[in-house]
Structure 1
Amino acid sequence: MCQLMDTTTTAAPLQNDCETELETKPKWSSSLWSWWPSWRPTSMSLLKTTESKILACIRNDIWARFVTLPNQDRIWTLTVTNKAAPNPAAQASKTPLVMVHGFGGGVGLWIRNLDGLSHSRTVHAFDLLGFGRSSRPHFPSDASKAEEQFINSIEQWRQSVGVENMILLGHSLGGYLAASYAIQYPSRVSHLILVDPWGFPARDQNGTEVVKRPTLPPWVKVIASVVSFFNPLAVIRAAGPWGPGLVNRFRPDFKSKFEDLFEDDTITQYIYHCNAQNPSGEVGFRAMSETLGWAKKPMLHRIHLLPPSMPLTMLYGAQSWMDSSSGDRVAEIRGQAYTRVQLINHATHHVYADAPDEFKKAVEKICKSVD
């Protein structure tokens, strides 16, 4: 089990009092609903505390900090390097791996992967704009504009961190955004890795599915029904003090995925605190989606815009509710361009947590092919 330890030597120093106050103090209007945030047992401070317990499991060197964008939005970022590397200069010269989480997630969910994947190269992971501990700005209701806001923030983050080229890995919603980013900024991506990506399948003009998918799990159906009327995670906030229990009830699988690391509800508490804050990124997601499972601008319609010279690997969980036939269709569309579709056995949608060893082997093999 992971033990909460002093991370002052590996984590970023605490912000000054003014910055911490800005980070943790909830923002709401003085309207009739001013009581609403206090009814929810969450805050940025509680999210920070829960995340710190998760990050204490990391044994390599970790630099955790906010990266400030030109418009003053902040992206919460982890940079992990191998403190036992025999040749740190050689590690630093290798193309870094950049990891983008999925909908409702955050950097803490990569806890099974960060140490292993940083063995031979630098790994960056960040909370998408509007999610986790990153800034939560307003997102437009137009699908193209919302997507562009996400992509602009990723490119500005890249510039601020000083990454010239990267191996870009995205999971679920992060996979959709990673593909969009690679289309717009192909010179910055040495290899694109999409892990159970959302938003690829399309429907024909009659509204039928072009790509079939397995039966959705109950929690997906619940959220899908909410998406039509409210922001996707509104039910968690509306539940108030019952919110944490709601996450445990609908996502008991998450606790089991990390049970060898945490005996308690650390992971489900982390998911709750990530998603019980004021909605932002999920507003952008709602703008981009028709329902939970479908994008207004399906990536299958645009994947041909990736340059043929860019290698692409798509990793799917063999038991995922996402259908890997989308990956097969991508391979057909790209023709002779390098495109590999790989199924990870004994894994569901959260491949990185279900089969971390197989996930590590697959990603490491790709990284080694880059340099």
Structure 2
Amino acid sequence: MYTGGPTSGNWSWWPSWRPTSMSLLKSAEAKILACIQNNVWSRFVTLPNQNRIWTLKVTNKTALKYKDQAAQTPLVMIHGFGGGVGLWIRNLDALSHSRPVYVFDLLGFGRSSRPSFPSDSSLAEEQFVSSIEQWRQSLGLERMILLGHSLGGYLATSYTIQYPERVSHLILVDAWGFPERPQPQLQESGDQGSQLKRVSPPRWVKALASVFSLFNPLAVIRAAGPWGPGLVNRFRPDFKRKFEDLFEDDTMTQYIYHCNAQSPSGEVGFKAMSESLGWAKRPMVQRVNLLPPSTPVSMLYGSLSWVDSSTGHTVIQIRGKSPTSVTLIEDASHHVYADQPEEFNRVVESICNTVD
């Protein structure tokens, strides 16, 4: 089976030996979505440029009897890097209790179209953001509560800056790309006066980073060929554990594998936007002042996450009197929504209830 393509760069000629395809991704996803108890509407939303965004709308089964849910502001959730709609499986039923919930695969990820992305960071970001706006227009959503996890949080903020009238409340979950990269620090060094001391990772980390900078972030999964699924299981056993009460087998790691073993596209866009070791080239903390002062922003962090929650307090300072809050969810790592789903759902629902 050949899964190369115009977006796979110099390797498009490689006869693919990866045990993946879009139909295998569809099957893995279907197994996950079968857990949803509420009504699910799913389809591809076609954008004006013919790219397609894979979309789910989840509504309360009893909402047919009560017209009030239709009047509620919908919650739209954007997944993080390398993710897809299936990762929200612990949240969709609970959060669609009182309002419609929309989730979609970002352009270049999951089952959505995988177009080429520019290598310029601002142009790549704009391609993601404009696809979200075209998606919204196609569905006719006037206003929404916008929630983004990790990379999705970065893009949700960028979207809200550009289209503020569409967002009633911005919820950022362990958002990526906010802090500025640490600068060299001044340190007194005896009689030599002030010297620049660079905050620097170990040499081996820099060596690895320079090698990996030549590749797309998830290239190793594709290069592993038939060993790719096992590699995901080995390096991300936490994904199996997070969902083990729903699936005893490798359903979730298979889903992650099939999401990321296709031709890279969104990965290319992400790489354009990021510097080595995961910093954003255009840190969002430099732009949060452009959010409308009246737009409420709620920032959620996992207490055990690698994302530094102190950035949230920086955002509070920058926004001054604008409604901004930081909530730490205990015993949760980066994937807050899957680590502590009950608490995550409770916090998000209470935020949504402040809107309507």
Scaled by the length of structure 1, the TM-score of the pair is 0.87
What is the CA-CA distance between 1:322 and the residue it aligns to? 0.6
1:278 is the counterpart of 2:263:
yes
- Rounded to whole Å, the distance in 2 between the matches of 1:224 and 1:308 is 39
Query: Compared with structure 1, are the counterparts of its residues 37 and 158 closer, same or farther at alpha carbon in structure 2 (3 Å cutoff)?
Result: farther
Query: Compared with structure 1, are the counterparts of its residues 225 and 267 closer, same or farther at alpha carbon in structure 2 (3 Å cutoff)?
Result: farther
The aligned counterpart of 1:259 is: 244
Residue ranges of structure 2 left out of the alignment (5+ in a row): 187-200
Query: Compared with structure 1, are the counterparts of its residues 268 and 141 closer, same or farther at alpha carbon in structure 2 (3 Å cutoff)?
Result: same
What is the CA-CA distance between 1:221 and the residue it aligns to? 10
The aligned counterpart of 2:127 is: 149
CA RMSD of aligned residues (A): 2.2
The aligned counterpart of 2:5 is: 28
Give, as a single letter, the amino acid of the residue that structure 1 aligns with 2:259. Answer: C
Residues 31-55 of structure 1 show CA distances to partners (whole Å, capped at 9, x for unaligned) of 9966735300000010000000000
- Rounded to whole Å, the distance in 1 between the matches of 2:15 and 2:62 is 44
- Rounded to whole Å, the distance in 2 between the matches of 1:272 and 1:304 is 38
What is the CA-CA distance between 1:229 and the residue it aligns to? 1.6
- Rounded to whole Å, the distance in 2 between the matches of 1:273 and 1:91 is 34
1:91 is the counterpart of 2:76:
no
What is the CA-CA distance between 1:165 and the residue it aligns to? 0.2
1:331 is the counterpart of 2:316:
yes
The aligned counterpart of 2:230 is: 245
SS in 2 for 1:192: strand
1:347 is the counterpart of 2:332:
yes
SS in 1 for 2:61: coil
Give, as a single letter, the amino acid of the residue that structure 1 aligns with 2:144. Answer: M
Equivalent in 81, 84, 90 of residue 59 of structure 2:
81
Equivalent in 289, 293, 314 of residue 304 of structure 1:
289
Query: Compared with structure 1, are the counterparts of its residues 91 and 326 closer, same or farther at alpha carbon in structure 2 (3 Å cutoff)?
Result: same
What is the CA-CA distance between 1:207 and the residue it aligns to? 8.1
What is the CA-CA distance between 1:227 and the residue it aligns to? 4.1
Q: How does 1:162-173 map to 2 (within 5 A)?
A: 162-173=140-151
What is the CA-CA distance between 1:87 and the residue it aligns to? 4.3
- Rounded to whole Å, the distance in 2 between the matches of 1:66 and 1:128 is 12
Query: Compared with structure 1, are the counterparts of its residues 160 and 224 closer, same or farther at alpha carbon in structure 2 (3 Å cutoff)?
Result: farther
What is the CA-CA distance between 1:85 and the residue it aligns to? 3.0
1:100 is the counterpart of 2:88:
no
Identity among equivalent positions (%) equals 74
SS in 2 for 1:370: coil
SS in 2 for 1:151: helix
The aligned counterpart of 2:29 is: 51
SS in 2 for 1:88: coil
SS in 2 for 1:193: strand
SS in 2 for 1:58: coil
Could you list the structure 1 runs, at least 4 aligned residues long, displaced by more than 6 angstroms after superposition.
220-223
Asked if structure 1 preserves the Cα contact closer than 8 Å seen for 2:164 and 2:292, the reply is: yes
The aligned counterpart of 1:359 is: 344
Asked if structure 2 preserves the Cα contact closer than 8 Å seen for 1:99 and 1:170, the reply is: yes
Residues 163-201 of structure 1 show CA distances to partners (whole Å, capped at 9, x for unaligned) of 100000000000000000000000000000000000001
Higher mean Cα deviation, 161-170 or 221-230?
221-230
SS in 2 for 1:231: coil
What is the CA-CA distance between 1:235 and the residue it aligns to? 0.5
What is the CA-CA distance between 1:271 and the residue it aligns to? 0.3
Asked if structure 1 preserves the Cα contact closer than 8 Å seen for 2:4 and 2:11, the reply is: no
1:181 is the counterpart of 2:159:
yes
SS in 2 for 1:341: strand
What is the CA-CA distance between 1:149 and the residue it aligns to? 0.1
SS in 2 for 1:314: strand
Give, as a single letter, the amino acid of the residue that structure 2 aligns with 1:129. Answer: L
Query: Compared with structure 1, are the counterparts of its residues 321 and 248 closer, same or farther at alpha carbon in structure 2 (3 Å cutoff)?
Result: same
- Rounded to whole Å, the distance in 1 between the matches of 2:2 and 2:143 is 36
Higher mean Cα deviation, 309-318 or 284-293?
284-293
The aligned counterpart of 1:19 is: none
1:71 is the counterpart of 2:49:
yes
The aligned counterpart of 2:89 is: 111
Scaled by the length of structure 2, the TM-score of the pair is 0.90
- Rounded to whole Å, the distance in 2 between the matches of 1:222 and 1:131 is 28
Give, as a single letter, the amino acid of the residue that structure 2 aligns with 1:66. Answer: F
Query: Compared with structure 1, are the counterparts of its residues 99 and 32 closer, same or farther at alpha carbon in structure 2 (3 Å cutoff)?
Result: closer
- Rounded to whole Å, the distance in 1 between the matches of 2:84 and 2:118 is 22
The aligned counterpart of 2:280 is: 295
Asked if structure 1 preserves the Cα contact closer than 8 Å seen for 2:4 and 2:13, the reply is: no
- Rounded to whole Å, the distance in 2 between the matches of 1:368 and 1:37 is 52
Residues 296-332 of structure 1 show CA distances to partners (whole Å, capped at 9, x for unaligned) of 0000000110011000000000111111001010001
SS in 2 for 1:361: helix
Give, as a single letter, the amino acid of the residue that structure 1 aligns with 2:28. Answer: T
Indicate the structure (1 or 2) with the bigger Cα radius of gyration. 2
Asked if structure 1 preserves the Cα contact closer than 8 Å seen for 2:48 and 2:134, the reply is: yes
SS in 2 for 1:36: coil
- Rounded to whole Å, the distance in 2 between the matches of 1:255 and 1:356 is 15
